A and B are shown apart, each in its own frame.
Chain A
């Protein structure tokens, strides 16, 4: 059949036409700026007029910048905690909603509702709930006899607020993916395990969890990428404070580029972000070459 279906050159030409709008937009507004960002990272510039070429000086500054290292550590901590917690909670909710339960559809709609709420609105609701003078949460804590927490002025509670708000925002998505994964597991496997005498936990541990591997893999990748890029929540909820305790790499890059206008240095921070993202993507890709995500 191969010879009969000789591909005329027209097919390739048509294909380039079809992809042209997409490729042009991605090229002009993502790839060209990416090259541009590298060039800017070699300059000292405030964004007005021409920059001054300084070689790798911006990268040298990074090494000795304690704010950068702290933001890197905060980003890593945030990523690990949010990914683990929202996946675990998402899985628990998915298992719950995959069982016989009244009003399952309604519960599902409610749990994924935060996905429709903008990051800014989510963060502002967070400001409202965690306000340490007049906030509802501290009042609730007080009402049940627990001590009030200084959510805004102490570093650890402030970090906890961005984590909690993000988990509230993201768990529904994780649940949805796990739910789809669970619905792909036939009941016969559980039946067989039950006949072999496996109890509920053993069936979950040895049947369900391994079969959810592809979903888990997909979720680790997406959660890590999203956590890395967390901006709206931190920017609006804490602004990186108190005293830089919730400053992550993207908010640091934004402040450096558009508030203090040290744009060469901001671009260098961006390059580190890019490097981390690429390293993560490559590691994940190698770890799962047998499990091709793109099909």
Chain B
């Protein structure tokens, strides 16, 4: 294939990806009258903030944004911590049952949440978590994928380094803190951004665990708003932007961490 042809193909693919996102932005800033007008336009004839204003005045958007931020930050912190600690043990320490435990933990990856949702809901209710952020946070805070990534990465730290520190008399926690942790900065970044992204966009479990309007996260609020406003696409898309834009920015700025995390998982 000639270079021009390849460039054309890449351009076409990029257009197919960008067109729906571009359309979302156009609709979010077009007036309702213009959207109902029915003729095809590539940009709004008149840029308007009326959709944004309507959404912010009808729904607690700021509170939902805060819920999403709080929940996904806490999930990311917990997920990084638990994955790093367990990943270190599975990579560098010997203990009975280590293979079996790792296999079971990985096995949870193939489990759709819908398999366990009914009884998970009962457990969460039984623990008195229902109606709080923790109903969403705790069941999603331990990530099997994160554990897998952490173990893969930490296997790359030379055993001799860990052994040497141990011979110098350092305890296991000390070795973890002063030898393993300083070498794991890229891993921490990967785990943090991946769980942040996942939690920010999570839908299936929060849909069940958050029945209280005040606790909604943005994806749940988005669905609720669509239920209220129906085919008012201007409002729906304006609110969708509140959900989409922050993570797209984070994703683009910290792209190399997402890419590193994903490719590391597939390539040995």
Contacts and interface: CB of A to CB of B under 8 A. Distances in A.
Interface of A: 5, 7, 10-12, 14-19, 21-23, 25-26, 28-37, 39-40, 47, 93, 96-97, 99-102, 107, 109-121, 124-129, 131, 134, 136, 139-140, 143, 168, 172-173, 176-177, 179-181, 184, 200, 214-215, 218-219, 225, 228-229, 231-232, 235-236, 249-250, 253-254, 257-258, 263, 266-267, 270-271, 273-274, 277-278, 280-281, 294-295
Given A11-B93, A100-B3, A101-B10, A109 B252 contact: yes
Contact of B7 (A101, A121, A176): A101
B109 A225 contact: yes
Interface string B220-245: 00110010000101001100100110
Contacts of A219: 266
A115 B258 contact: yes
A143 to B, nearest CB: 6
B267 A180 contact: yes
Contacts of B17: 110-111, 113-114, 168, 172
Interface string B2-19: 010011011001101110
A15 B116 contact: no
B95 A22 contact: no
A168 B20 contact: yes
Interface of B: 1, 3, 6-7, 9-10, 13-14, 16-18, 20-21, 23-24, 27, 35-36, 38, 40, 81-83, 85-86, 88-90, 93-96, 98, 101-102, 104-123, 138-139, 141-142, 144, 147-148, 152, 155, 163, 171-173, 176, 197, 200-201, 203-204, 208, 218-219, 222-223, 226, 231, 233, 236-237, 240, 243-244, 247-248, 250-252, 255, 258-259, 262-263, 265-268
B21 A113 contact: yes
B222 A120 contact: yes
Contacts of A274: 111, 115
A112 B197 CA distance: 14
8 contacts: A12-B94, A19-B90, A33-B119, A113-B248, A116-B197, A118-B203, A120-B203, A179-B263
Nearest to B150: A22
A231 B203 contact: yes
Contacts of B250: 116
